[in-house]
């Protein structure tokens, strides 16, 4: 049963019939004024931040299982092992066709005679391959027959190199022509660290490129698609927007390695792979095998946004590389191509079929526009050099698309000189949305639940674009999401919600981490090759997002918002579409607390409210692969007397009452 507002007469009757139920207000009462909405909650309020960090894309949501499928890594055979019993049986050479296919120039040439059948190449996957018993796997390869006669034996191997699925492929293409060959087969067993093995029978010479293996159970069963369990976790959050592709990856270590969306659309074998900037970032977490194949590119990001009902929010390079790395900046008189990329992206997303980029979108399978409404210019860029470049973008984009919203950087930190300078400058520019980032200790989040209470009510809006409470320091293996971080973020988020007139968007960061291939901690969702789970903080995000309502209403204790009095934090919204009243309460203390919640102005009320609670008496409680729902929301009911709820907040809890 939900708290609904219906007809006023019923409240009157309830009050007359049950006067004893109407308590006088005391110091402990939380008054929720249903009929005094203070702000609209934007549909975009709670979203997600996606970046290819921690093997988030390649080795993550992009379901390709073969690592270095096109031999384009700096070490062209990285991820591959060549095996042969006899030296003279044949060879595997990596060749380079140069300008013939500049984006994907390398390939493997297999030469083999009839002296044996032991020559094989094995791919280790992204820290192994997750293989599921009974599932169909789709193998494909670009082949060029130099001397026909080789048959490919394609095998899935388990953790101990036992064959758990196989098929054969005899390339049928013409001599000297690249042909795509594809074949599917089922796995006979499950393996968490499987491999793909190809051995060659017969005598001949064949060139191989784009050696690929996808599971058939991708998101929406799209061939070459995304890992369904990971996307489902996102879809379950019902995010208002998805920010992509980052993060620092937008900036690149240098300008050459910045993210360039145009290089990520079109045939996958023509998408030019580059090193992932997280490959070398942290010496304690080296990831030499981390590259961006762009198999997941901008078209796929837009499609993903559409699939999960989220507004797309691309972030583009502003003409500056990461200022923690090279800090390379393009001279102002050479900024045009960067600005053009932004203008063309809007055309790619929204242009009609008579436009160059609208036509490209249609040719990829989406004639209808993606209805892009906003984009970010720069990630964590700062200083006058950022403002100079930003102004050029602003002018170019706003003069062509006056209603298009731009998200701008406020740097890396939520305070300090860098922040103050940028905050002033971008407000002078009348920036639509200012992207604020906070990676801070839980105490900071608790202490900053009031951060936006005194922000200017007019002018630029806030996008809390990256935040996460840190139980230890960033990148530490001990920096884990637990009940302490979840509670701190929930408390802080009540402040975001209460100030929804100022804060229009918010997203936790980073989103995903692979259990063996992570670079950054903490992370919202952890995955292995076969499993995935949401952390405590995931459930906080999900609960806010799936209970966002349409309008904020006051939730006051002694006339003031709850921002830590007795370690309690609260916010409330109504949903004008469903008539629900939704109250969020965080108890950041280790003791049970009882409050009367009085719903002022409600017209009719149910006798029971539904309570969803995320709780653990131990701040160190966390979720894990072996216990993924150790801390997960639980539902209960609370009785409502008249317009009052006697509510008990459990120790270290986040509750939603509706």
- Cα separation, 420 vs 429, in Å, equals 14
| Cβ atoms of residues 549 and 575 within 8 Å | yes
In angstroms, give the least distance from the CB of 415 to ligand AHR.
16
Which residue lies nearer to ligand AHR by CB, 216 or 325?
325
* End-to-end CA, the chain: 8
Cα–Cα nearest to 207, from 150, 139, 271, 137: 150
Which residue lies nearer to ligand AHR by CB, 51 or 344?
51
Which residue lies nearer to ligand AHR by CB, 248 or 611?
248
435 lines the binding site for ligand AHR (CB under 6 A): no
Site stretch for ligand AHR (CB under 6 A), options 85-93, 243-251, 396-404, 571-579: 243-251
- Cα separation, 397 vs 405, in Å, equals 9
Which residue lies nearer to ligand AHR by CB, 64 or 380?
380
Cα–Cα nearest to 231, from 324, 333, 159, 300: 300
Distance from the Cα of residue 386 to its chain's centroid: 25
- Cα separation, 469 vs 440, in Å, equals 5
Cα–Cα nearest to 599, from 7, 33, 29: 33
Site stretch for ligand AHR (CB under 6 A), options 245-253, 478-486, 554-562, 634-642: 245-253
Looking at the annotation, which residues are catalytic? 380
Site stretch for ligand AHR (CB under 6 A), options 113-121, 127-135, 167-175, 242-250: 242-250
Interacting residues with ligand AHR between 498 and 517 (CB under 6 A): 509-510
Binding footprint of ligand AHR, residue count (CB under 6 A)? 11
252 lines the binding site for ligand AHR (CB under 6 A): no
Q: Which residue is nearest to ligand AHR (CB)?
A: 247
In angstroms, give the least distance from the CB of 233 to ligand AHR.
18
Cα–Cα nearest to 249, from 321, 334, 157: 321
- The structure tokens listed for 308 are 């999960």
Residue whose token pair is 């055979």? 77
436 lines the binding site for ligand AHR (CB under 6 A): no
Q: Which position among 247, 358, 378, 549 is part of the footprint of ligand AHR (CB under 6 A)? A: 247
In angstroms, give the least distance from the CB of 596 to ligand AHR.
41
Site stretch for ligand AHR (CB under 6 A), options 182-190, 244-252, 388-396, 491-499: 244-252
- The structure tokens listed for 346 are 């809007």
Which residue lies nearer to ligand AHR by CB, 128 or 246?
246
520 lines the binding site for ligand AHR (CB under 6 A): yes
Q: Which position among 248, 487, 568, 581 is part of the footprint of ligand AHR (CB under 6 A)? A: 248
246 lines the binding site for ligand AHR (CB under 6 A): yes
3-state secondary structure of 342: helix
- Cα separation, 165 vs 149, in Å, equals 23
- The structure tokens listed for 615 are 């709780």
- Cα separation, 251 vs 265, in Å, equals 19
In angstroms, give the least distance from the CB of 50 to ligand AHR.
10
| Cβ atoms of residues 368 and 302 within 8 Å | no
In angstroms, give the least distance from the CB of 580 to ligand AHR.
33
Site stretch for ligand AHR (CB under 6 A), options 152-160, 246-254, 585-593, 646-654: 246-254
Number of other residues whose CB lies within 10 A of the CB of residue 162: 13
Percent of the chain as helix, strand, coil, to the nearest 5: 20, 35, 45
Interacting residues with ligand AHR between 356 and 395 (CB under 6 A): 379-380
281 lines the binding site for ligand AHR (CB under 6 A): no
- Cα separation, 258 vs 331, in Å, equals 16
Q: Which residues pair with 573 in a beta bridge?
A: 552, 582
Residue ranges in contact with ligand AHR by CB under 6 A: 51, 53, 246-248, 379-380, 466, 509-510, 520
């Amino acid at each position: 049963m939900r708290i609904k507002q219906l007809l006023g007469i019923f409240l009157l009757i309830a009050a007359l019939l049950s006067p004893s139920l109407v308590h006088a207000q005391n110091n402990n009462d939380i008054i929720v004024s249903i009929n005094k909405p203070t702000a609209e909650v934007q549909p975009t309020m709670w979203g997600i931040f996606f970046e290819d960090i921690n093997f988030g894309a390649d080795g993550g949501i992009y379901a390709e299982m073969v690592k270095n499928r096109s031999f384009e890594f700096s070490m062209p055979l990285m991820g591959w092992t060549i095996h042969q019993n006899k030296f003279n049986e044949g060879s595997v050479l990596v060749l380079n066709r140069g300008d013939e296919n500049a984006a994907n120039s390398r390939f493997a040439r297999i030469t083999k005679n009839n002296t044996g059948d032991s020559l094989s190449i094995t791919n280790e996957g992204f820290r192994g391959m997750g293989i599921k018993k009974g599932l169909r796997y789709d193998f494909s390869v670009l082949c060029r027959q130099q001397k026909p006669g080789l048959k490919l034996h394609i095998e899935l191997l388990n953790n101990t190199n036992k064959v758990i699925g196989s098929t054969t492929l005899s390339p049928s293409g013409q001599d000297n022509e690249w042909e795509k060959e594809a074949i599917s087969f089922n796995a006979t067993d499950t393996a968490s660290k499987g491999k793909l093995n190809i051995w060659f029978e017969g005598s001949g010479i064949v060139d191989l490129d784009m050696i690929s293996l996808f599971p058939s159970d991708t998101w929406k069963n799209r061939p070459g698609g995304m890992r369904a369990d990971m996307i489902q976790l996102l879809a379950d959050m019902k995010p208002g927007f998805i920010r992509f592709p980052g993060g620092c990856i937008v900036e690149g270590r240098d300008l050459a390695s910045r993210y360039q969306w145009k290089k990520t659309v079109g045939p996958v074998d023509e998408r030019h792979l580059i090193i992932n900037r997280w490959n070398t970032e942290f010496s304690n977490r080296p990831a030499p095998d981390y590259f961006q194949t762009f198999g997941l590119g901008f078209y796929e990001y837009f499609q993903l946004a559409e699939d999960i009902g989220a507004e797309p929010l691309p972030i583009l390079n502003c003409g500056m590389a990461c200022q923690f790395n090279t800090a390379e900046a393009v001279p102002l008189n050479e900024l045009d191509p960067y600005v053009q990329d932004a203008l063309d992206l809007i055309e790619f997303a929204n242009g009609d079929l008579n436009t160059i980029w609208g036509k490209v979108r249609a040719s990829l399978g989406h004639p209808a526009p993606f209805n892009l409404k906003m984009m970010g210019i720069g990630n964590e860029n700062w200083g006058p050099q950022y403002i100079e470049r930003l102004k050029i973008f602003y002018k170019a984009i706003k003069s062509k698309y006056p209603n298009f919203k731009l998200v701008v950087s406020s740097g890396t930190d939520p305070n300090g000189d860098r922040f103050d300078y940028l905050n002033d400058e971008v407000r002078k520019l009348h920036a639509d949305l200012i992207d604020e980032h906070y990676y801070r200790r839980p105490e900071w989040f608790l202490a900053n639940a009031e951060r936006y209470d005194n922000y200017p009510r007019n002018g630029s809006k806030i996008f809390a674009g990256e935040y996460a409470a840190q139980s230890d320091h960033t990148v530490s293996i001990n920096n884990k999401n637990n009940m302490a971080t979840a509670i701190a973020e929930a408390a802080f988020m009540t402040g975001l919600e209460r100030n929804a007139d100022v804060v229009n968007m918010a997203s936790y960061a980073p989103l995903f981490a692979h259990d063996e291939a992570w670079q950054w901690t903490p992370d919202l969702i952890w995955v292995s090759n076969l499993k995935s789970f949401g952390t405590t903080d995931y459930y906080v995000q999900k609960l806010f997002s799936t209970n966002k309502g349409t309008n904020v209403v006051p939730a006051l204790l002694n006339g003031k918002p709850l921002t830590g009095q007795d370690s309690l934090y609260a916010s409330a919204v109504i949903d004008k579409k469903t008539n629900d009243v939704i109250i969020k309460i965080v108890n950041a203390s280790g003791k049970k607390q009882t409050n009367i919640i009085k719903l002022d102005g409600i017209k009719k009320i149910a006798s029971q409210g539904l309570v969803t609670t995320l709780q653990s008496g131990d701040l160190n409680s966390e979720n894990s692969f072996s216990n993924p729902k150790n801390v997960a929301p639980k539902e209960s009911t609370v009785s409502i007397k008249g317009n009052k709820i006697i509510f008990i907040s459990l120790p270290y809890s986040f509750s939603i009452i509706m």
